[in-house]
């Protein structure tokens, strides 16, 4: 079975506690706590971007489906500046684009 490749990153650098939250997106319409998922875009003090994805017990971010825990899990995905802009475009975070990515905005 092929293992999923997870990029290595400095967990101290990519910490939501020490980074600026720029935008948030809640995919889908599922209000139930156990399946709810949230993606949050952050910018580190060094200017790096990342997405913190969090979800409930039955979300895709539950770290161990076989574990007998009643909480979900999370995942961090580092992004380039261009990927962060694309994520904002795809999730409709246009205010964040105007405030933080105005110099990268694509011309129609």
Lowest mean pLDDT among 12-16, 17-21, 82-86, 104-108: 104-108
pLDDT tens string 36-95: 788 999 999 999 999 998 877 666 665 655 545 556 677 899 999 999 999 999 999 999
Look at residues 26, 32, 15, 79 and name the one whose alpha carbon lies nearest to residue 54. Answer: 26
Contact 21, 40 (CB under 8 A): yes
Tell me how far CA of residue 23 lies from CA of 40, 67, 70, 94, 103, in angstroms: 6, 31, 27, 10, 18
């Amino acid at each position: 079975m092929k293992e999923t490749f997870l990029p290595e990153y400095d967990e101290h650098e990519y910490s939501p506690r020490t980074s600026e939250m720029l935008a948030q997106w809640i995919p889908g319409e599922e209000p139930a706590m156990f399946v709810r998922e949230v993606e949050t875009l952050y910018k580190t003090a060094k200017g790096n971007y990342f997405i913190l994805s969090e979800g409930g017990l039955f979300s895709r971010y539950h770290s161990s489906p076989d574990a007998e825990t009643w909480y979900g899990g999370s995942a961090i995905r580092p992004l380039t500046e261009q990927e962060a802009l694309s994520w904002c475009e795809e999730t409709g975070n246009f205010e964040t684009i105007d405030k933080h990515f105005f110099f990268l905005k694509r011309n129609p």
